[in-house]
Structure formats: C-alpha cells, structure tokens
C-alpha cells in the first residue's frame, strides 16, 4: 500500500515537473507512510523534529504538492489538514479529535463504481471518499462531560 502510494506520488511529481528536494522528499515519505489526513501544523511539527526541516520549507513543500494535485485539503477537528489525493486513501475521520480509521471494505463501492461507469460511459480513474463523525472515545468523553 505504501509502495503503491509512493509510486503514484512520484509519477504525479514527474508529471508536474516537481523536483524532489530533501524537504519535499521527507514530506512525501511521511505522507505516503501515513495516508490518513493530517493537520498541517502537526505535519510541520513532525518534520521539523524528525527530518530537521525548516518549518517554512515544509509549508512550501505542502503548497507545491497541493498545487500539483498530490495533496488535497481536508479538515480535521476544525483545523486545516492535508491528505494524499490518490485512491486507497479513504478514511473515516473523527471531527473532534482527528483520529482516522481506514475504510477497507470497499466491495460495494466497487460495484457502485462499475455501475456509475456503465451508466455514464466514463472510465473512472480514482475517487475521493470522505466520511466524518465521532470516534468511540469522543462519544464516551462527550457523554461523561454531559453528566
């Protein structure tokens, strides 16, 4: 899965003529390994600590990837986030804490996709699917706070 995401991202970089500098490489490696949406501030903190990137370069790398369609904007717990724009990165995200759960049982979605393609005559290349809600921990926390 990580290798497929990485391959996809590298192909998109090449198509967009985006050179992979050290910080861009670090951002891409981090996001390909993770795939779930991440708050931009948290991503910057991680990469400054982990890869010793300057925070400005990380923000710039994120902006370049967004412009090239490799990352797309998301919202996690009300904060600006990004996620890989490739297929196989479908997530259910908690609106309150940002915890993400992968969506893996996609058999019915594949059937829907095939029906949609047949009905419209389109060749579907990828989809973006976003679910948001509250995780079990936040539901429990909210119930405790309501008492």
Task: Give the H or E element holding residue 45.
Answer: helix 40-51
Nearest CA to 6 out of 74, 103, 84 is that of: 84
Binding mask 47-86 for Zn ion (x = CB under 5 A): ----------------------------------------
94 belongs to the binding site for Zn ion (CB under 5 A): yes
- Cβ density class 66-81: b for 16+ within 10 Å, e for less: eebebbbebebeeeeb
Interaction with Zn ion in 97-116: which residues (CB under 5 A)?
A: 97, 99
Instruction: Decide whether 110 or 136 has the Cβ nearer to Zn ion.
Output: 136
Scanning 41-49, 55-63, 83-91, 127-135 for contacts with Zn ion by CB under 5 A, the matching segment is: 127-135
What is the binding site for Zn ion (CB under 5 A)? 94, 96-97, 99, 135, 138
């Amino acid at each position: 899965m990580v290798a497929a995401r990485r391959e996809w991202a590298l192909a998109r970089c090449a198509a967009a003529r985006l050179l992979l500098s050290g910080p861009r490489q670090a951002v891409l490696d981090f996001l390909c390994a993770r795939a779930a949406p991440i708050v931009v501030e948290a991503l910057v903190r991680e990469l400054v600590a982990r890869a010793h990137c300057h925070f400005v370069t990380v923000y710039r790398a994120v902006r370049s990837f967004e412009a090239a369609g490799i990352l797309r904007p998301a919202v996690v717990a009300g904060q600006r986030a990004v996620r890989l724009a490739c297929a196989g990165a479908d997530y259910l995200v908690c609106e309150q804490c940002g915890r993400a759960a992968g969506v893996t049982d996609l058999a019915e979605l594949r059937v829907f996709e095939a029906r949609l393609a047949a009905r419209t005559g389109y060749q579907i290349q990828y989809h973006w699917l976003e679910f948001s809600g509250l995780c079990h921990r936040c539901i429990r926390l909210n119930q405790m706070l309501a008492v």
